[in-house]
Amino acid sequence: MTKAYQGYLIDLDGTMYQGNEPIPYASDFIQTLHHKQIPYVFVTNNSSKTQEDVAAKLRKLDIPAEPSQIVTTSLATASYIKANHGLSRCYVIGEEGLHKALREEGHIITETEDCDVVVIGIDRNITYEKLAKASIAVRNGATFISTNGDKSIPNERGLLPGNGSLTAVISICTGVDPVFIGKPEAVIMEEALEVLGLSKEKALMVGDNYATDIQAGIQAGIDTLMVFTGVTPFSDYKQLAVAPTHYVHNLKEWMEKL
């Protein structure tokens, strides 16, 4: 008999949607959780959007979501910097979601390499000059933090360069490895559990990417449910070093167990 989980941590890209296209049965799955009053939060390595933006996108796809149910790497990054370095002057490569989270936490965003912390998140307007400033700051001793290490991100066009690929440019230039915040790291999972209001033993992590979503659950001691609707194909399953707790080909299969 399948364990009855009291709450769900759910990935977005590749699990709920790809780009602007909904994943089959994603809406039905969340509607079922909502109807059964089973708490859930969405955990995403995408730092570009605000909580409000993400919730609005999900609702357009007929997926019930409130901003308070969205845990982004931007929020976890802003919290991590404050907890470990205090309020800081940050040189930021990233989009509105990251800038907003840092500002609301009380950090100062500077446009120069004279900073305490270099923060990089996905930036679809990346330039050589942004990378140059970040590299100079890191060489001068600024703490180097990356929202996530995803080498690629799923999109309706296919797999596109992710923040890990952008981060690698600075790492290779400076010889300095960043602190990563997003999945599979523990930082974002601890924040998500706090928002969910449950201990790790009572929650289930749902995702499509073995290297990020499933490894995040494994490393945090949370049971995992792998869906083969995004990055990791089912053909890889038998070669996985540590198998997920559960797997389904799509979320309709899991709905039948709720």
Instruction: Tell me the torsion sign for CA atoms 124, 129, 135, 136.
Output: negative
The span from the CA of 241 to the CA of 92, in Å, is: 35
Burial (CB < 10 A; 0-12, 13-18, 19+), residue 132, is middle
Distances (CA, A) of 103 to 77, 114, 133, 176, 247: 12, 18, 20, 26, 39
190 and 50 in contact (C-beta within 8 Å)?
no
pLDDT at site 164: 95
pLDDT at site 158: 79
Query: Helix, strand, or coil here: 136?
Result: helix
Q: What is the mean pLDDT of each run of 10 residues along the chain (258 residues)?
A: 87 90 95 96 94 96 96 95 96 97 97 96 96 98 96 78 96 98 93 94 95 94 95 86 94 91
Q: Point out the catalytic residue in the list 11, 123, 150, 208.
A: 11
The conformation of residue 13, written as its DSSP 8-state character, comes to B
Which residues, other chains included, contact 56 with Cβ-Cβ below 8 Å and sequence gap of 6+?
A: none
The span from the CA of 72 to the CA of 51, in Å, is: 7
208 is catalytic: no
User: What does pTM read for this prediction?
Assistant: 0.88
123 is catalytic: no
pLDDT at site 154: 67
